[in-house]
Amino acid sequence: MARRNIEEYHRVLTILDTEPYKNKDGNTTLNSIETVFVAVTDKVRPDTIRVHIDRMCALNLLSKKGEVTFTINPDWRKIVNSFNM
């Protein structure tokens, strides 16, 4: 995994893990994730962002809860830190 991607995932998840981006259930929407990706990274194409979201799901940083709803893994910091050895 590219170090740059892990660093970007860390920045994105740090923002998404705050209250304004979570609903009452603690879930976040695809739209929120895309918005943060555009604001924090150099990724702007929806297809590219979705590939990264799928990669984040494969790394167990996010869990898909529906078509446009995701849950952030509470241990995402440990997972990200394991790549920064």
Mean pLDDT value across the chain: 91
At 85 the pLDDT is 52
Provide the residue ranges of all domains of the chain, joining segments of one domain with +. Answer: 3-78
Do residues 30 and 53 touch, judged by C-beta distance below 8 A? yes
Whether CATH 3.40.50.920 fits 3-78: no
What does the pLDDT look like over 5-44, one tens digit per residue?
999 999 999 999 988 888 888 899 999 999 999 999 888 8
pLDDT of residue 21: 83
- Tell whether the model's pLDDT for residue 1 goes beyond 70: no
pTM of the model: 0.89
Secondary structure in 3-state letters for 46-73: HHHHHHHHHHHHHCCCEEECCCCEEEEC
